[in-house]
């Protein structure tokens, strides 16, 4: 838990927001400003990312989930709503597997049930090669472009670039190893929590087939698809994203 940053704003029932690969808690800015009026908003930076960039990186999704649960325990947060985006959605799937009784409502956003994602813009191995060949800055910029329909012209593109600069090649490579070795498909049928699945129809990281596996496998799930959005719906259509999420949680 050393060097792990956890944003904590607002009052009320805890809502945990877990960012994705090459992300940071700062990328939740429009959500923090909105949800702090309704919830206690908890926004960790995953180890090695954002303000947790001095923390030791992990190459295992389960170990990240355990670390976050330890952080929540330290804050004496026993029951909470949980929203995981992209890689954060994988972490959320591991958290619900082990600690499902602590999670009241669950949101899987722009995520899927396996790390090596068929239909991703490139294979995980290709991402690892590109990272070593092109370096962190170019890799982070190229990946961030795939997150928005408007690419580098998107309003919040610079926040994403900043998040990419805060980390290191070692951390990013460890995250990619964690992706590659993770598969949550078999555990989905055991999720009893009421679950909202959010997805942008231009998402290049997770295709509809992956999203449909979540929807079909989780009994109490509901899927909302955003049109003309890519991977970062929460930054492309923040108002709509926030209202749909709030209506589900309240």
d(CA 30, CA 32): 6
- Longest pairwise C-alpha distance within the chain: 47
* pLDDT digits 0-9 by tens, 131-152: 999 999 999 999 999 999 999 9
Task: Decide if pLDDT at 169 tops 90.
Answer: yes
Domain boundaries, the chain: 6-249
Of residues 52 and 98, which shows the higher confidence score? 52
User: Which pLDDT does position 122 carry in this prediction?
Assistant: 83
d(CA 213, CA 65): 22
| CB contact at 8 A, 194 and 100 | no
* pLDDT digits 0-9 by tens, 14-63: 999 999 999 999 999 999 999 999 999 999 999 999 999 999 999 999 99
- Residue from 195, 140, 208 nearest 168 by CA: 140
- Bridge partner list, 80: 103
| Cα dihedral sign, 154-159-165-167 | negative
Q: What tokens appear for 175 in the block?
A: 């995250």
* pLDDT digits 0-9 by tens, 173-185: 999 999 999 999 9
Q: What is the pTM of this model?
A: 0.97
Q: What tokens appear for 15 in the block?
A: 């809502």
d(CA 14, CA 39): 6
CATH level 2 (architecture), domain 6-249 = 3-Layer(aba) Sandwich (3.40)
């Amino acid at each position: 838990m050393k060097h792990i940053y956890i944003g904590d704003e607002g009052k009320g029932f805890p809502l945990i927001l877990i960012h994705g690969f090459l992300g940071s808690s700062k990328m939740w800015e429009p959500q923090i400003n909105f949800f702090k009026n309704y919830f206690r908003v908890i926004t960790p930076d995953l180890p090695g990312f954002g303000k947790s960039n001095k923390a030791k990186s992990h190459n295992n999704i389960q170990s990240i989930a355990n670390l976050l649960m330890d952080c929540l325990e330290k804050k004496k947060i026993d029951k909470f709503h949980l929203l995981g985006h992209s890689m954060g959605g994988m972490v959320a799937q591991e958290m619900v597997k082990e600690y499902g009784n602590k999670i009241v409502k669950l949101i899987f956003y722009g995520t899927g049930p396996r790390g090596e994602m068929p239909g991703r813009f490139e294979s995980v191995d290709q991402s690892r090669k590109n990272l070593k060949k092109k370096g962190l800055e170019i890799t982070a910029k190229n990946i961030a472009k795939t997150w928005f329909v408007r690419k580098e012209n998107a309003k919040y593109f610079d926040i994403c670039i900043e998040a990419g600069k805060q980390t290191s090649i070692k951390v990013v490579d460890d995250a990619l190893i964690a992706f590659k070795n993770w598969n949550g498909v078999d555990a989905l049928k055991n999720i009893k929590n009421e679950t909202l699945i959010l997805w942008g129809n231009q998402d290049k990281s997770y295709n509809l087939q992956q999203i449909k596996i979540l929807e079909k496998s989780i009994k109490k799930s509901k899927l909302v698809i955003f049109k003309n959005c890519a991977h970062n719906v929460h930054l492309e259509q923040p108002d709509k994203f926030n209202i749909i999420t709030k209506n589900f949680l309240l």
